[in-house]
Amino acid sequence: MKNLVLLFLFPIWCFSQTSHQDLELLLEQKNYVKAEALATPIVTNNPTDLKAIELLGDAYAYQEKWDEAMEQYKKLTILKPKVANYHYKYGGALGMKALSVNKLSALTYLSDLKGAFLTAAALDKNHIETRWALVELYMQLPAIVGGSMTTSLKYAEELEQLSKVDGYLAKGYIYEYDNEPELAELYYKKAIHVGGSLTCYTKLSEFYEKQDQPEKAIINIEEAQDKLQRNALHYQLGKVSAEYNVQLSKGEACLKNYIKNYSPEDGVPIAWANYRLAQIYKNKNHKAQALEYINLAIKELPEIKVFKEEREIILAF
């Protein structure tokens, strides 16, 4: 009898393990629809399979099906209420749902949203992602519904204890949001000094762009390129050059380098580099070259509206 039971259980166990691996692979491949289709019957037939439920929630979340994702993540918080990451994912889905509706409707999600993140933070003193979520939440909420820079800074301090880089980036974000550019710049620079990652440099470059300081952004990008040697930075410099009409020859060279050395890991499709080159040639009053590159961009990604708008601008001058 024992052997008979094992014969029945073993294939089920193998199926479950294999299915989890298949689901994870599909999510890595960004095949979210197929992952959802595979995960749904597994969850239906195994309603306590935590991994399958989480992966189904992830498949929904990647597709921005926030109601469905919330349902799956909520199940996890009920089945395993002491797991911080389940509360964090539930809170994240609630937050994205709140952003997708009007402000009045969003308020109905606020209590559960805060509760999920605060529970995750209490359960895991080392959960960095939750503290980031709380930093952003308390900065973005109006004071009338609980927003507080002081509370946001409290979680930034907790982040700094866990990771100086994250703490400095969080403080940079807070002070930038609060329109204190000198302090924001200070903390973004501290993050670069301690971490020196592409993310750190990107945050400072984006800050300079928002402050309408493209020359500083370019200097920062060049420093990052010297240290990190990332092709993606060629695009970033070219983008700043094109958008702000500065250092056009340098921007042109960087974008051509980006295209020459492009790989999917660089993130931004080549079409966007061609679009930026079109902008640069337009700024140089080289209409024929501008048209050549904007036509390339449209051919590669014909659905992008700004490409077609740029073509009309080029044709008009």
What CATH number corresponds to the domain at position 109?
1.25.40.10
Query: Three-state SS string across the chain, please?
Result: CHHHHHHHHHHHHHHHHHHHHHHHHHHHCCCHHHHHHHHHHHHHHCCCCHHHHHHHHHHHHHCCCHHHHHHHHHHHHHHCCCCHHHHHHHHHHHHHHHHCCCHHHHHHHHHHHHHHHHHHHHHCCCCHHHHHHHHHHHHHCCHHHCCCHHHHHHHHHHHHHHCHHHHHHHHHHHHHHCCCHHHHHHHHHHHHHHCCCHHHHHHHHHHHHHCCCHHHHHHHHHHHHHHHCCHHHHHHHHHHHHHHCCCHHHHHHHHHHHHHCCCHHHCCCHHHHHHHHHHHHHHCCCHHHHHHHHHHHHHHCCCCHHHHHHHHHHHHC
Q: Let me know if residue 175 belongs to a domain.
A: no
Q: Let me know if residue 241 belongs to a domain.
A: yes
Distance CA 233, CA 222 (A): 8
The count of domains in the chain is 2
pLDDT at 21: 86
Domain termination site, one of 124, 142, 174: 124
pLDDT at 144: 62
The one-letter amino acid at 310 = E
Length of the chain: 317
Q: What angle do CA 14, 16, 20 make, to 5 degrees?
A: 115
**Backbone phi and psi for residue 163, each to the nearest 5 degrees, phi listed first:** -155, 110
Domain termination site, one of 124, 158, 192: 124
Domain termination site, one of 70, 93, 124: 124
- Structure token pair of residue 157: 């301090």
Q: Let me know if residue 108 belongs to a domain.
A: yes
pLDDT at 141: 80
Residues 90 and 76: beta-carbon distance below 8 Å: yes
Q: Let me know if residue 154 belongs to a domain.
A: no
Mean pLDDT by 10 residues, the chain (317 residues): 42 54 89 92 92 94 95 97 96 90 86 94 95 92 78 96 97 97 98 96 97 98 97 98 97 97 95 98 96 97 96 93
Q: Let me know if residue 168 belongs to a domain.
A: no
Q: Let me know if residue 140 belongs to a domain.
A: no
Q: What angle do CA 267, 269, 272 make, to 5 degrees?
A: 120
Residues 188 and 168: beta-carbon distance below 8 Å: yes
Domain check: are 216 and 317 in the same one?
yes
pLDDT at 257: 97
Distance CA 29, CA 23 (A): 10
Q: Let me know if residue 148 belongs to a domain.
A: no
pLDDT at 9: 44
Distance CA 310, CA 317 (A): 11
Q: Domain range holding 51? A: 20-124
Q: Let me know if residue 131 belongs to a domain.
A: no
